[in-house]
Chains A and B, each alone.
Chain A
Amino acid sequence: MLPILQIGPVSLPLPGLIILAGIWIGLSLAEKYAPINHIKSTDITNLVFTCLISFLVGGRLGYVIRNWDAFSQDLAGIISRNLELFDLLTGILCALLAFIIVCQRKELPVWQTLDSLTPFFALISLSIAFSHLASGNAFGSPTTLPWAIDLWGMPRHPTQIYGILLSICILILIWPGKGFLWDPQPGVPFLRFLAITSVGVIIIEAFRGDSLLILLGLRRDQVIAWLILAASLAGLWTLSSKRENGT
């Protein structure tokens, strides 16, 4: 665990750096393999940057609006460097909106674009898992298993390492043009990525020691992942029947 990288007098937050590296490598991969899906690399670059900026700006603005009482007394806080001042859901919605607008304006086919972005998403997922290992977040529940790691006062499931292994497996399985789960039919690689990532979350979340809980002690992220799995499966069956009908 190394949340802060100290280089001389400079303290760098290692989890953030890992995610930045993930974005960069993921974007490079997506650009390289975009032509397989008949998408231009430059379109992917522009799309990713537009969505990232919308995500960051939208997430901050969403947070500011939700907490206007506090920001009205400190307007400079709106542009402060505190990453904590961020509303994830608003950020995601803004990025989605930007994605739709760019696809329409550039006339990009949605499924092929999503397929091209799949390696990018997989790398982001991998970098988030590594960032959890660096920060000690997303830690596991106590266990006596021999591979337990000592964290926050007791031996725990190394859920961060489970996450890293899972993300590597998923990246290999969906590798453009070569992975077992890659498929030339538009939409299938992306939906399969969503489905197996959801399966991974459902499994690994059970070993977490910091899950957010909803009704009856159910773990929130498992329920969300199950819904995403169901939705992506519905999409996969629809695409499969289209293939059989030759449409």
Chain B
Amino acid sequence: MLSLTFLNPENGKDALCLTIEMEIKKLPQGKISRLVNLSLTVILFLGLLWIGFSRVTDNSTNSGKIPAPQPGFLAPEFSLEDMNGETVSLTSLRGRPVLLNFWASWCPPCRSEMPAMQELFAEFENQGFIILAVNATNQDDLADMKRFVEGNQLQFPILLDQTGSAGNLYNIQSLPTSFFINQDGIVEDLVIGGMSEALLRIRVKALLDEPPARDGGQ
């Protein structure tokens, strides 16, 4: 039952009282069922229109155009010095598949994946593949790091992130973190944590097998 009372604003007394009585009956399950099914059937046909309407046009998925440390985006540009004091920039490696690995010598999973990385680097270097191992120098001991690199005979460039700027740019929250970047500079994959040799091999082969896009993006 619903009761509505309208007051006269001048004397505050009742001006009109309206009472509506309704009996709400619960619909039987069969009727609800038919109603739900009919609604869903209408939605099924509207869904077709919606799918057509929301078809992807050129800019609705902007992957490959904006720099961000995320698969599908342009890898953010940085320049760092390597152990010989030479400056290496990511843009200078455009046209080559890159494994960008953030690491530190005190981090056990970083240490355990390095031999496999060296093996793959040696195997695929002649196909243009390169590894940039960015050492989190701001939170590492330089002498320990050098000892580790020499002990494992790592031949790929070891870049020194002295201020943590590259780590911040790539939003590194845990070591190791690896970005697989294709020949067009697009991040293809992101792996947080240590990688097995099999995973490395599969990802690197996928990068090498991918033909470069003509426009430099997706």
B29:A233 contact, CB within 8 angstroms: no
Q: List residues 144-200 of chain B with CB under 8 A from any CB of chain A.
A: 173-174, 189, 191-199
Interface centre among B32, B189, B202 (most CB of A within 10 A): B202
B37 close to chain A: CB less than 8 A: yes
Complex partner residue of B191 from A77, A82, A185, A226, CB under 8 angstroms? A82
| B204 smallest CB distance to A (angstroms) | 9
Stretch at the interface among A3-11, A24-32, A111-119: A3-11
Stretch at the interface among B2-10, B62-70, B80-88, B90-98: B62-70
Whole-angstrom CA separation of A76 from B196 in the bound complex: 8
Whole-angstrom CA separation of A71 from B195 in the bound complex: 13
A57 close to chain B: CB less than 8 A: no
Q: Give B43's nearest chain A residue, CB to CB.
A: A199
With A233-B41, A233-B44 as contacts: A188 and B62 at CB distance below 8 Å: no
Complex partner residue of B54 from A69, A206, A237, CB under 8 angstroms? A206
Complex partner residue of A74 from B29, B70, B196, CB under 8 angstroms? B196
With A141-B62, A184-B29 as contacts: A4 and B173 at CB distance below 8 Å: yes
B202:A152 contact, CB within 8 angstroms: no
A41 close to chain B: CB less than 8 A: no
B34 close to chain A: CB less than 8 A: yes
With A74-B198, A76-B196, A243-B33 as contacts: A153 and B67 at CB distance below 8 Å: yes
Q: Give A78's nearest chain B residue, CB to CB.
A: B198
A13 close to chain B: CB less than 8 A: yes
A146 close to chain B: CB less than 8 A: no
Q: Give B63's nearest chain A residue, CB to CB.
A: A210
A211:B66 contact, CB within 8 angstroms: no
B111 close to chain A: CB less than 8 A: no
Set of chain A residues within 8 Å of B16, measured between Cβ atoms: none
B41:A77 contact, CB within 8 angstroms: no
Total residue contacts A-B, CB cutoff 8 A: 145
Q: List residues 17-46 of chain B with CB under 8 A from any CB of chain A.
A: 29-30, 32-34, 36-37, 40-41, 43-44
A219:B36 contact, CB within 8 angstroms: no
Set of chain A residues within 8 Å of B196, measured between Cβ atoms: 74, 76-77, 80, 82, 85
B33:A183 contact, CB within 8 angstroms: yes
Whole-angstrom CA separation of A130 from B29 in the bound complex: 34
Whole-angstrom CA separation of A6 from B36 in the bound complex: 46
- How many residues belonging to B are interface residues under a CB distance threshold of 8 Å? 48
B55:A217 contact, CB within 8 angstroms: yes
Set of chain B residues within 8 Å of A69, measured between Cβ atoms: 201
Complex partner residue of A81 from B59, B72, B193, CB under 8 angstroms? B193
Contact with B along A103-144 (1 / 0, CB 8 A): 000000000000000000000000000000000100001100
Q: List residues 204-247 of chain A with CB under 8 A from any CB of chain B.
A: 205-206, 208-211, 213, 216-219, 222-223, 226, 229-230, 233, 236-237, 240, 243-244
B56:A74 contact, CB within 8 angstroms: no
Whole-angstrom CA separation of A35 from B54 in the bound complex: 42
B197:A199 contact, CB within 8 angstroms: no
Whole-angstrom CA separation of A185 from B32 in the bound complex: 12
With A73-B198, A77-B196, A233-B40 as contacts: A240 and B54 at CB distance below 8 Å: no
Set of chain B residues within 8 Å of A236, measured between Cβ atoms: 33, 36-37, 40
Q: Give B70's nearest chain A residue, CB to CB.
A: A152
3 closest pairs, A vs B, by CB?
Answer: A77-B198, A206-B54, A80-B196
Q: Can you identify 18 A-B contacts, CB atoms within 8 angstroms?
A: A11-B193, A67-B198, A71-B198, A80-B199, A82-B191, A82-B195, A142-B59, A153-B73, A181-B36, A195-B40, A199-B40, A206-B53, A218-B56, A219-B56, A222-B51, A223-B51, A236-B37, A237-B37
